[in-house]
A and B are shown apart, each in its own frame.
Chain A
Amino acid sequence: MAEVKELVKELSEKYGNRRESLIPIFQGIIDKNYYLSKEAMLEVAKQLDVSAADIYGTASFFSFLDTDAKGKYKIRICKSITCDMKGKSGIIATLEEMLKIKVGETTEDLMFSLLHTNCIGLCDQGPAMLINDNYYTKLTAEKVRVILGDYIRNK
């Protein structure tokens, strides 16, 4: 994990100190530190000269600006209707069993967070999920075991 103060400074140099730099800065923090900690948001507030409440208000609005999910790998399972129809529940059961956590939780070693997400545009290939920026389609319990197994081995 990068030192928050340094990181925010570096990102604001790259994207600017303006309010419209906020989302790219947030994204940069998550890429390095996996989530937006309270310290990070306070640092951003100071750097952009915007109230901390406003910064948190913006962060908490967006589903990919994680303020709680601390895992290095975010597993987001689509819960929209067509993925639901094609067996999303079974996929979640497999993931929960493998990771020993429920949806919304993070593993103790801070490697995986399991999350629901709304439509990710893979409706014709459901059930589908994202692990960080990678997508996985037409999931079956067996497929999930292989995919997640790879992540667990290489973590």
Chain B
Amino acid sequence: MPYSRTRVVDVLFKPLTTAPYEILRKTIQREKKDVINELVDSGLRGRGGAGFPTGMKWKFAAQQKSDVKYVICNADEGEPGTFKDKKLLCEVPRKVISGMAICAWATNATKGYIYLRREYRYLVAQLEEELRIYHEKAKEMGLNFPIEIFLGAGAYVCGEETALIESMEGKRGEPRNKPPYPIQNGFLGKPTIVNNVETFASSAMICRIGAEEYKKMGTADQRGSKLFSISGDSPKEGVHELELGMTLEAFANEFGDGDTKAVQVGGVAGFCIPRKQFKTQIIGEGNTTGGSTMIFNSTRSMYNVLHNYLDFYAEESCGQCTPCRIGTQQLLKGIEAVKSGLKPPSYLDQLIKLSETMRITSKCGLGQSVTNSFSSIVQNFREEMIF
């Protein structure tokens, strides 16, 4: 059953009472397959947005036969409205690093990278200091898994794991065809596990508290807790850790300013939920799991919101596949034409069809997701697109 009130929890940022890297030290004394199975059992799904079951990813990666395997922490947090990974890296970097090291140990990976977005370069010095401490501790434990930072160069699409890998190889950050998946053929052709920052931190916490305890949070469909980056028309902007499974109404009551008109869930790649659907919509179900939530009140023009998103998409589309490159530009021009009266309102229906075509034909999640926000805004706020 979904919750009608938000439930605040404190797992990810809770200070650890034990010595640094104690979770790691204890975990690597266990059987590898038990740890992976516990993660599968926890129901943890990737916290970057795509929501792939983390335990399964580790399980498949462990099965790959290779002398070299990579673990990459995806800290290319570029989805508009998302800033929770930065907070984790600032406040609890050891949980993130522990998660990476546990992953490497369980899957026999040999080298790790934190792919840090260029915009967060100011975090490099403190992260390097943390890595120095980690390397000391790892040496004491006999764990040979070095981690280094790879600094990105500014591209939203590089949050997509294959584009991220391409950019690490010194190429344009254009997504690859899948399959093969990175766990088969990733960085430099080797098996590579790419997980989001929060996913690693959550994995470490599952190793600490156990899957049973973790599963008590959330609903049958969505286990555990999740960080929400809340911004927009809210008196409580910031990062909040909440149990999964609440209705939008519960969320808006807690975090809105009393005049909430719509909430964008999952960033621009997610859905714009209008007030009339607040009672029935549950955050995370059917929408994405990245945790970006932007709140709009009644003073906001949804045309301006959509225009801003499309401008973003047209700029960040990598240009590799035609549906996304041309589609993003045409959607932007299209809503401008309707607004200015050059095209009739019925043209909006054609644009929705175009965005649906982009979902089917685009190569990666970027082009495939445009229709989420596009259709949900145009359908629910049609009059604002026209007048």
What is A's interface to B at a CB cutoff of 8 Å?
18-24, 26-27, 57-58, 61-65, 79-82, 84-85, 117-126, 130, 133-135
Contact = CB atoms under 8 A, between A and B. Distances in A.
Q: What DSSP secondary structure best describes chain B's contact surface?
A: mixed
Nearest to A18: B170
9 contacts: A23-B167, A58-B171, A64-B152, A64-B153, A80-B308, A81-B81, A82-B232, A118-B156, A118-B316
A100 B387 CA distance: 36
A57 B172 contact: yes
Contacts of B178: none
Interface string B220-256: 0000000001111100011100000000000000000
A80 B119 CA distance: 14
B120 interface: yes
Q: Give the 4 A-B residue pairs with the shortest CB-CB distance, closest first.
A: A22-B170, A64-B154, A62-B153, A63-B154
Interface residues of B, number: 51
Contacts of B364: none
Nearest to A57: B172
Nearest to B170: A22
B151 A62 contact: no
Interface of B: 77-83, 86, 117-122, 150-156, 167-173, 188, 229-233, 237-239, 264, 268, 294, 296, 300, 304-305, 308-309, 311-312, 315-316, 318
Nearest to A62: B153
Contact of B155 (A20, A62, A134): A62
Given A23-B167, A63-B155, A85 B122 contact: no
B348 to A, nearest CB: 20
A30 to B, nearest CB: 9
Contact of A21 (B118, B121, B170, B232): B170
B294 to A, nearest CB: 6
B169 A19 contact: yes
B83 A80 contact: no
B48 to A, nearest CB: 14
B154 A20 contact: no
A120 B86 CA distance: 10
A150 to B, nearest CB: 17
Contacts of B156: 118-119
A147 B120 CA distance: 20
B88 to A, nearest CB: 12
Given A20-B168, A23-B170, A126-B231, A121 B119 contact: yes
A19 B121 contact: no
A61 B231 contact: no
Nearest to A58: B172
Contact of A82 (B81, B169, B304, B312): B81
A134 B315 contact: no
Given A64-B118, A118-B315, 12 more contacts: A18-B170, A19-B171, A61-B173, A65-B154, A81-B80, A82-B294, A118-B80, A121-B120, A122-B83, A123-B81, A133-B121, A133-B122
A124 B230 contact: yes
Nearest to A59: B153
